[in-house]
Structure 1
Amino acid sequence: MAVTLEQISKWMDLEEFKHDLSDERIVSMSSDEDSKLAHILRAPENGEMFKWTVQLLDDNSDMIDIKEHKYAGKVISHMLYLNYTTKFGTWEFDPSDGDMRLCVEIPLEDALMTQKQFKRIYGYMRRDAHNGATEILHILNNGEIPKTEEPDAAAMIAKLEAMLATLKDGSSDDSDDVI
């Protein structure tokens, strides 16, 4: 077994990250003035895989559904941008239920996860989930892509939005019809 939920729970205790441990997962809630998040950690396949998922929640602690939201396209474009600019984790959107989440999956196979590795994952997931959630909620509330420190961010997002629109419309301005 590469990692157990009990071991992960101990490491979370050391980080003072409050959580609930069950047989199949660890669940933790975090919130601040900007966002409310649910962290779900699992160790499937007898601990040979480690999965950490962070879900955005509304004020009632329900998952935020953007399936029918008027700014869903902008949010999805921004999630693509976040994936492009971060080196860890993937923002995902499930079109069947409108659910958004940040996920990381690490195959451990026969390797053991160390506390140092967990601490690094913990840092990335806490930071990237908070920052991404804050930006996504800003888009949902205002319809505006938040200003970033990177000067080309707005141009990249506009380009991604144009690509999505082209794919959605089924048309292309390219003469060779390659998207």
Structure 2
Amino acid sequence: MATTLNAIAQRLENKQWQYEIDRQSQTVITGVRTSSIPQLLIFIRLKENGEYVQFLAPQLCHLKDNLFKGVAYQTLLHISYSEPLIRFATDPNDGEICASVELPLEDANLTQRQFDRCLDELIHLIDLETMPRLNRVLATGEDTGKVNPIEYLYQAAMGDRVGVSFDFRRSAEMLLTRATPEDLAWLMGQIQQRR
């Protein structure tokens, strides 16, 4: 059973995403625009004859010569600890940081729901948690903890007059289903101030 490159391609077509297939490396390459990374590349790689799927986002940043790389590594470890799906890795040669979500299928088929969850979680955890915290750490040397995703999305949308379009809407829809009454009250207050 497991899955194939064609099945991955079909899952992306169901989402109306563009992609390229590299059969030699057993990888489907796609990408998305986020509020924190203009072009987030995503490699969906099959391993172990399609029984293991890796969703990989390379080149989030490079920490090799950064003064605050120790705090940055601690921040990434903390995010991995508190968000069970995401893992981070670094290339010791150039300090490249990448993130991944991995799914062992073994003898099961990959469902659209599993695929969507892995892909969406990778994107949202990078965009709404990892990069805002990591950018703050790299600028100040301090990790002030978890970012309020409602506030972050609002600030991102207000800073981009064209709008973050589809990605913002999708992120906002996902977050609003998880928003607390306090988050919604804060958001409404911000909107009222803009009028």
TM-score (norm: length of structure 1) = 0.71
Match of 1:30 in 2: 32
- 3-state SS of the aligned residue for 1:32? coil
Structure 1 residue runs of 5 or longer lacking an equivalent are 58-63, 151-179
- Give the whole-Å Cα distance in 2 for the aligned partners of 1:78 and 1:113: 32
Matched, 1:78 2:81: no
- Give the whole-Å Cα distance in 1 for the aligned partners of 2:16 and 2:142: 35
Query: Do the aligned partners of 1:20 and 1:28 also contact (CA within 8 Å) in 2?
Result: yes
- 3-state SS of the aligned residue for 2:62? coil
Identical-pair percentage: 24
- Counterpart amino acid of residue 95 in structure 2: G
Query: Do the aligned partners of 1:54 and 1:103 also contact (CA within 8 Å) in 2?
Result: yes
Match of 2:16 in 1: 16
- Counterpart amino acid of residue 121 in structure 1: C
Shift in Å, 1:94:
2.9
Query: Do the aligned partners of 2:91 and 2:97 also contact (CA within 8 Å) in 1?
Result: yes
Match of 2:153 in 1: none
| Counterpart selection for 2:133 from 120, 132, 135 | 135
| Residues 78, 3 of structure 1: alpha-carbon distance in 2 compared, 3 angstrom cutoff | same
- Give the whole-Å Cα distance in 2 for the aligned partners of 1:146 and 1:31: 26
- Give the whole-Å Cα distance in 2 for the aligned partners of 1:32 and 1:129: 9
- Matched positions, count: 144
Query: Do the aligned partners of 2:55 and 2:119 also contact (CA within 8 Å) in 1?
Result: no
Structure 2 residue runs of 5 or longer lacking an equivalent are 149-195
Matched, 1:93 2:95: no
- Counterpart amino acid of residue 4 in structure 1: T
- Counterpart amino acid of residue 47 in structure 2: P
Match of 2:58 in 1: 55
| Bigger helix fraction | 2
What is the aligned-residue RMSD (CA, Å)? 2.1
Off by >6 Å, runs of 4+ in structure 1: none
- Give the whole-Å Cα distance in 1 for the aligned partners of 2:10 and 2:124: 21
TM-score (norm: length of structure 2) = 0.65
Shift in Å, 1:7:
0.9
Match of 2:161 in 1: none
